[in-house]
Amino acid sequence: MISRNTRDLMSVAFGGLFARKVRTILLLMGPVIGVAAIVAAVGLTDSAKGDLKAKVAQLGTNLIEAKAASSFGSQNPTLPIDAVRRAEQVKTVEKVASVVQLTDIIVSPYPQAKAKYETTPIPVVATDTRLPYVLEVPLTSGRWINASDNENAVRAVVIGSGLANELGYLPGESRTIDLADKPYGVIGVLGKVELDPSLDNAAFISFASADADFIKEDVLPTKLYVRSTAGTEQVTSDALRTAISLGGPKEVATEIKAEALQLAAQSDRQLQLIVASMGLLAIIVGGIGIANVMSISVMQRSTEIGIRRALGHTRRTIAQQFLLEAMVVGFIGGILGVLLGAFAILVGVWLSGWVFVLQTWIPPAGVVLAIVVSIIAGLYPARRAAKLEPLETLRLG
């Protein structure tokens, strides 16, 4: 609850501003233009990368790929058999899926096409039941390989979205394709994997099928897909290398899948800084304007101040009245500036086809900045007003 004296002060300050509309508009110009410039600078540079930012937000930055690195010139490097369990030991790891890239398997939609697909082979990936869950990519049709498929080595295959396109696969269609002359039934289509487009053209089968049909020795994973808890991708990525290899001979290389995208989505900081500094400059110049106009106003209103002092208003009250006027100017100017800045972003977005981005902390920060600058600007005139002697301003006698 504000005190009655504060309410009196506010009515005097608002009354003073409202009574001198032109002067008040002049006072408002500085904070309005300054805040608008800063808001527009940050907002426009952010909005220019808005579509990429939205994509990063949608895909997440926490997908890490850990794959066997070829050390000592080994031809087909693999990860340890218990790589998934080892990766799960890392505290910041949320979920893990493992895959094996199978080589020398000719995939052909029908026997006659085999010759063509020998020259442009379709990659075959053996994987576990968790891959879509870890990639956070849903199936566009059908289902993923389940535990039963894996236990019974069912000849079931899920195809990537690009491959589905190429084969003209219709959702729900019953289709058999040959994997090294073995008939596999298509059970589903994986959606587009934005963070690893190489998977879009792959055919996915269970480890058990790979074991039964293609690989004679143990099936060793060649690659893990890992989701870390948000924001820990770098430390997780580093920890994974050690956690998986455990000092053994098998080397591990990691890659944060969204790193490049994230980099591309970053706003142009330098441009942002330059334009925002110009906005800051505008606010400061506006503040000087406030100090100037208010100082003149104090001189013009010296009689009014003298009267108020004669009527029993203390110096402190007079100073507060002027400071409050400055504060109200900052507050209203800040709000108008944010609105104007947001409007400028909208126009820019509309003209350039960007995506509107305005970080939530910017509008309140803009208003606070305008208020602070205005109060500082109001200090000198308020002090001058408080120092006026009623006897000198009232011309008695």
Partner 1 sequence: MTEVFSESIPESQAPFLQLTDVSRVYGEEVKVFAMRNVSLSIMPGDFMAIVGPSGSGKSTMLGLLGCLDLPTSGSIKIAGEEITTLDDPSRTRLRGRTIGFVFQQFHLIAHLSALGNVETALLYRGLKPAERREKAMDALERVGLGPRHDHRPVQLSGGEQQRVAIARSLVTDPIIVLADEPTGALDSTNAENVMQIFESLRSSERAVVLVTHDQGVAGRADRKVSMRDGEIVADEYKVLS
Interatomic CA distance for residues 376 and 329, integer angstroms: 12
For partner 1, the closer CB: 167 or 327:
327
The closest of 294, 285, 284 to 24, measured between CA atoms, is 294
For partner 1, the closer CB: 86 or 313:
313
Region of 28-36, 173-181, 219-227, 307-315 interacting with partner 1 (CB under 8 A): 307-315
Selected from 246, 310, 343, 364, the binder of partner 1 by CB under 8 A is 310
User: Is residue 387 close enough to count as binding partner 1 by CB under 8 A?
Assistant: no
**Interface characters, 257-296, with partner 1 (x: CB under 8 A):** ----------------------------------------
User: Is residue 2 close enough to count as binding partner 1 by CB under 8 A?
Assistant: no
Contacts of 339 (CB under 8 A, 6+ apart): none
User: Is residue 53 close enough to count as binding partner 1 by CB under 8 A?
Assistant: no
For partner 1, the closer CB: 13 or 157:
13
User: Is residue 307 close enough to count as binding partner 1 by CB under 8 A?
Assistant: yes
Contacts of 110 (CB under 8 A, 6+ apart): 177, 178
3-state SS, residue 328: helix
Q: Residues 260, 261, 267, 268: is their CA dihedral positive or negative?
A: positive
Selected from 111, 247, 248, 397, the binder of partner 1 by CB under 8 A is 397
Q: For the CB of residue 396, give the shortest distance to partner 1 in the complex, in Å.
A: 5
| Helical residues (DSSP H) of the chain, grouped into ranges | 4-19, 21-48, 50-59, 83-88, 114-119, 131-135, 147-151, 161-167, 207-213, 233-245, 259-265, 269-300, 302-310, 315-352, 362-387, 390-393
Strand partners, 178: 108, 183
Q: For the CB of residue 337, give the shortest distance to partner 1 in the complex, in Å.
A: 27
3-state SS, residue 150: helix
Pair 186, 157: CB distance under 8 Å = yes
Q: Kindly state the number of chain residues that form the binding site for partner 1, as judged by CB under 8 A.
A: 33
User: Is residue 303 close enough to count as binding partner 1 by CB under 8 A?
Assistant: yes
User: Is residue 372 close enough to count as binding partner 1 by CB under 8 A?
Assistant: no
Q: What residues line the site for partner 1 (CB under 8 A)?
A: 3-5, 7-9, 11-12, 15-16, 19-20, 303-304, 306-317, 389-391, 394-397
